[in-house]
Amino acid sequence: MLHEALHFYPGGDRAVEVELGDGMDFALNFTVHRLVAALREAQIAAIEDLIPELASFQITYDPDRISYEDLIREVAAIHARIGSDVSGALPSRLITIPVQYFDDETAECIADYRKAQPGKMPDPELLCQLNGLEGRAALARRHAGTEYWVAALGFWPGLCSLLPLNPKSRITAPKYNPPRTWTPKGAIGIGGALSCIYPDRTPGGYQLIGRTPAPTYDGAQRLPAFRDSLALIRAGDRVRFRPISPEECAFIAAEVAAGTYVHDIVEYQIFSVDRYLDWARAQGEQA
């Protein structure tokens, strides 16, 4: 739900959290991205970074160049100028991520967790049960049957929070309790109504359904997609998952190791929120 006015919270002496609402909703998240884009266009010299989140965003700034009070006045003025209407368009790349669903590495991770938590149902079966799906094949079809909006980034470089754009492809799940101590690099997970791609071997709590051999984080910047950034995916991008076989997964992994893999990225597209919302409403009416 959108707040009537922006909520500001100081984060030490160099950051401010700007909250626009409360919830996990595409329209609210798009409003976050629209305001962040307007702040980038304003080129306020003291702003050092802008980090979009699901219903808020964080600003880091130089307090020697602008005070906290002046900064929030600037942000509030830009927000008042552009308004809170969910409309307009933003540049949005489309990135296709190859995925081997129900692969051996995520299966090993799930089995390792269940040694200490034997009551934990294997992740794919739990997702099928909770979402009324008849089996793993149906789960993979639903997950791969939509584009995803990159709503936010964090807690690790390259980790993205993905909202399904097709309402018919929505999958929901609880997070692990307690969390895992490790997750395979490239694992695809679902938590709440979000999907994510684990960019490295990290702890985690999302239910696991597969793994991509295509990296989304490259600290050494070996591959062409990482020449300008350590992280592949940006907030406001869209992601589509393409199911692959174990053989193709191994082939892509070999290309990555050789430094020759080229990510499938469409750079030139524009995302129209007005047209999307009309389409999404029609999908909901047909369900």
Q: pLDDT tens for residues 2-43?
A: 788 899 999 989 999 999 988 777 788 888 888 998 999 999
For 131-161, how does the pLDDT look when each residue is reduced to its tens digit (9 = 90+)?
Answer: 999 999 999 999 999 999 998 887 788 899 9
User: 210 with 103: CB under 8 angstroms?
Assistant: yes
In Å, how far from its chain's centre is CA 177? Answer: 21
Q: Torsion angle of alpha carbons 264, 277, 175, 212, nearest 10°?
A: -10
Q: What is the pLDDT of residue 82?
A: 81
- Confidence check: pLDDT of 287 > 50: no
Q: Is 252 left (phi over 0), alpha (psi -120 to 50) or beta?
A: alpha
Q: Which position has the higher pLDDT, 8 or 273?
A: 8
What is the pairing mode between strands 238-243 and 270-272?
Answer: unpaired
In Å, how far from its chain's centre is CA 156? Answer: 12
For 170-186, how does the pLDDT look when each residue is reduced to its tens digit (9 = 90+)?
Answer: 999 999 999 999 999 99
Q: What is the pLDDT of residue 9?
A: 96
Where are the chain's structural domains? Answer: 2-85, 94-286
Question: What is the average pLDDT across 32-56?
Answer: 90
- Which residue type is seen at 185? K
For the chain, the average pLDDT equals 92
- Confidence check: pLDDT of 84 > 90: no
Cα–Cα distance for residue pair 112/217, rounded to 1 Å? 25
Q: Which position has the higher pLDDT, 210 or 273?
A: 210
- Confidence check: pLDDT of 286 > 70: no
pTM of model > 0.85:
yes
Q: Which position has the higher pLDDT, 40 or 284?
A: 40
Question: 2-85, which class in CATH?
Answer: alpha beta
User: 204 with 229: CB under 8 angstroms?
Assistant: no
Locate tokens 């997950």: which residue?
143
What is the pairing mode between strands 94-101 and 207-211?
Answer: antiparallel
Question: What is the average pLDDT across 162-173?
Answer: 93
Q: What is the pLDDT of residue 242?
A: 98
Q: Which position has the higher pLDDT, 219 or 85?
A: 219
Structure confidence at residue 85 as a pLDDT band (50, 70, 90): low
- Confidence check: pLDDT of 87 > 80: no
Q: Do 94-286 and 2-85 fall under one CATH topology? A: no
Fold of 94-286: Cyclophilin (2.40.100)
